[in-house]
Structure 1
Amino acid sequence: MKNQLKTSQITMLGLMIAILLLMAYTPLGYLNIGPLAITFNVIPVAISAIVLGPAGGAVAGAVFGITSCLQCIGVGGSSAMGATLFAINPALAIIQRFVPRFLDGILLGYIFRGTRKKSKNVYLSCSVTGFFSAFLNTLFFMTMLVVLFGNSEYIQGLMGGQNVIVFICSFVGINAVCEMISSTVITGMVGAALYKARLLPGTATEGTEAVKRDAVRL
């Protein structure tokens, strides 16, 4: 049973990576509104972290980060900001695009584990993980943008003399809110479905314990 569950989880990770790549290289993954695009690629990362923990989240996050880096040079879509940052400093641009997604994936695995220990409501745990997938992605992305490129003429021009916090809030704007809402709802629904299909860690054990309890009652 454990081997079957592990195989199913690895298969799910492969599926999430395939979906992530599809979304990254088609309009499905991005919705361009304002200076930053709304991305839905955080959702497969969250689901990977839910199914396979920090390791699965790290793998999916790394794939997301790589596709984001490639956009800086026009591979699989283009990012005006990414191209500009890459022209300023290629190494820092790669760090700024890759590291936030990689860290996001790792932390989501721990967030799901922590919420599952505190709550028996799997939909709530998955929804919380989905929310943080978008929130942390935005937080890490903007933090590294300011830290690594805050003194560049490009970012200084975007800031327009604003306070850093005000700049971040106004820059991400409605995009971040849309990402958080969509990621929370979709991840919660998908996670609940995976739980019913016994594809989440611990569901096989919970099912066995339930059978034992029913047997005792009989």
Structure 2
Amino acid sequence: MSEQAVAVKSGERLSVKDLTTTGMMIGIILLMSFTPLGYLRTAGLEVSLITIPVAIGAMIIGPRAGLLLGTVFGLTSFYQCFGMSPFGAALLGINPFLTFLVCVPTRAIMGWLTGILFIAVEKLDRSKTICFFVGGIIAAILNTLLFMGALMLFFWNTEYIQSINAGIGNLSIFAFVLTFVGVNGLLEMPATCIVGGVVSKTLRKVLYKKIRSN
């Protein structure tokens, strides 16, 4: 029994099931963004768990869904800068446009690349199981590296970031990035790997009986 489908510009098709699943993931992102479920905030550090639904969508649907979900994630992250996130509010006060670039394009690229890289990893994984956990790790790494890369590019020389750096010992930019990447990785990577991997594998099995070759 064939499904009604919606054509996209490249000639590929997104099925109604794909669109429904993407909509469900968008709903989860919005729910997590505006409840304590989406962020771990401790000692001034903000670790996002919203990478998880982005990774899930990118893995079970594809790069286009990852791009869309990452964009939604980025927009909600930017919205957090308007009073909900002290760190984001500080960046917004310095330069709203650059803050937008740190929040939105980085997450959009993360979602898209997660989908692209997952396709490559899935082709190498004969078990069709390990790839989902690797995909979760990829999403977490990309999210942290892209966000930190943009943050350092646009805000490293600002008084605000330098005051944070002074509080941890006036590190070099490389050491500063490694410090925050390490802390974020310890918290975000296991969650995205385990939860994202298990949920993605389960949803793929339930929603898509046959593993799609993409």
- TM, length-normalised to structure 2: 0.88
Q: Which moved more, 1:53-62 or 1:170-179?
A: 170-179
Q: 8 Å contact 1:65–1:102 — kept in the other structure?
A: yes
Structure with the larger helix share: 1
Structure 2 partner of 1:174: 183
Map 1:58-207 onto structure 2 (within 5 A).
Answer: 58-74=67-83, 78-160=84-166, 161-199=170-208, 203=211
- Tell me, in whole angstroms, the C-alpha distance in 1 between the residues paired with 2:182 and 2:122: 31
Work out the CA distance in 1 between the residues paired with 2:203 and 2:90. Answer: 40
How large is the RMSD of aligned CA atoms in angstroms? 1.8
Normalising by structure 1, we get a TM-score of 0.86
Say if 1:9 and 1:199, in contact at 8 Å, map to a contact too.
no
Partner AA of 1:84 in structure 2: A
Report the residue type matching 1:105 in the other structure.
Answer: G
- Using the TM superposition, give the Cα deviation of residue 159 of structure 1 relative to its aligned residue in structure 2, in angstroms: 1.9
In the alignment, structure 1 residue 55 sits paired with structure 2 residue 64: yes
> Secondary structure, in 3 states, of the residue corresponding to 2:46?
strand
Point out which structure has higher relative CO (alpha carbons under 8 A, 6+ apart).
Answer: 1
Whole-angstrom distance in 2 between the partners of 1:177 and 1:52: 27
Q: Which moved more, 1:118-127 or 1:52-61?
A: 118-127
Distance 2:151 2:212 in 1: 43
One-letter amino acid of the structure 1 residue matched with residue 136 of structure 2: G
Deviates more, 1:1-10 or 1:38-47: 1-10
User: Which blocks of at least 5 consecutive residues in structure 1 are unaligned?
Assistant: 206-218
Amino acid at match of 1:86: L
Tell me, in whole angstroms, the C-alpha distance in 2 between the residues paired with 1:155 and 1:167.
10
SS in 1 for 2:61: helix
Q: 1:115 to 1:204 in 2, by over 3 A?
A: closer
Cα distance in 1 between the residues matched to 2:156 and 2:41: 23
